[in-house]
Amino acid sequence: MSRWIIVNADDFGQSYAINRGVIAVFEHGILTSASLMVRWPASRHAADYARQHPSLSLGLHVDFGEWAYRNEIWLPVYEVLRTEHPDEYRRELAHQLNAFRDLTGQDPTHLDSHQHVHSEEPLRSVLIETAAGLQVPLRNFDPRIRYDGSFYGQSSRGYPVPRAIEVDSLVRLIQTLPDGVTELGCHPGDVDAHFDSMYRTERAQEVRTLCDPRVRETIRSAGVGLCSFEELRPDAKLARPQAQASQ
Catalytic residues: 10
Cβ-based neighbour number of residue 1 at 10 Å: 14
Residue 8, helix vs strand vs coil? strand
Residue 136, helix vs strand vs coil? coil
Asked if residue 31 lies in contact with residue 186, where contact means CB atoms within 8 angstroms, the answer is yes
188 prior amide bond cis, ω within 30: no
Angle, to 10 degrees, between the axis of helix 213-221 and the axis of helix 167-175?
10
- DSSP letter string, 45-106: HHHHHHHH-TTSEEEEEE-SEEEEEETTEEEEEEES-S---HHHHHHHHHHHHHHHHHHHSS
Which residues is 164 bridged to in the sheet? none
